[in-house]
């Protein structure tokens, strides 16, 4: 799996171009979808409606997840670092600052 990811990273321009081509093909195909049985006016009259809807929904979910993560549930960047108040040694004979 690591080799696959490294290979894709080495060919980032080709991967990006392939994704754009796939997106273009999907959009072109959506122009030929039969809309005579659409349930709503929006589906029938706005081309690429479900593509825009999916993009908006994904952007909303990602934005909410980022906001929720940054609002306090993410660990501090120095979470695994030693506490700056404690100068303990591994010998066990020293105590943290402020303790007798």
Tens-digit pLDDT profile for residues 51-80 = 889 999 999 999 999 999 888 777 777 767
Instruction: Report the predicted TM-score, pTM, of the whole model to 2 decimal places.
Output: 0.53
The candidate with the shortest Cα–Cα distance to 47, out of 61, 33, 60, 36, is 33
Residues 26, 47 within the same domain: no
pLDDT of the residue at 82 = 60
Residue 91 lies in a domain: no
Residue 77 lies in a domain: no
Could you give the angle at the alpha carbon of 91 between the alpha carbons of 90 and 92, nearest 5°?
90
Rounded distance, CA 48 to CA 51, Å? 5
User: Which residues, in sequence order, are CB contacts of 96 under 8 Å at separation 6+?
Assistant: 83, 85, 86, 87, 88
Residue range of the domain that includes 63: 36-72
Residues 26 and 35: their CA atoms lie apart, in Å, by 16
How many domains does the chain fold into? 2
pLDDT of residue 98: 55
Same domain, 26 and 52: no
How does pLDDT run along the chain (100 residues), one tens digit per residue? 899 999 999 999 999 999 999 989 988 888 888 888 889 999 888 888 888 899 999 999 999 999 998 887 777 777 677 665 655 555 555 555 555 5
- SS3 for 74? coil
**Residues 42 and 28 grouped into a single domain:** no
In a domain, 88, yes or no: no
Local structure of 53: helix, strand or coil? helix
């Amino acid at each position: 799996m690591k080799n696959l990811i490294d290979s894709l990273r080495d060919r980032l321009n080709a991967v990006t171009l392939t994704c754009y081509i796939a997106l273009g093909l999907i959009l072109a195909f959506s122009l030929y979808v039969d809309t005579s049985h659409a349930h709503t006016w929006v589906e029938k009259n706005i081309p690429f409606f479900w593509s825009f809807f999916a993009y908006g929904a994904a952007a909303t979910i990602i934005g909410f997840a980022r906001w929720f993560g940054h609002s306090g549930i993410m660990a501090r960047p120095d979470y695994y670092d030693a506490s700056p108040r404690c100068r303990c040694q591994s010998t066990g004979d020293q105590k943290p600052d402020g303790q007798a």
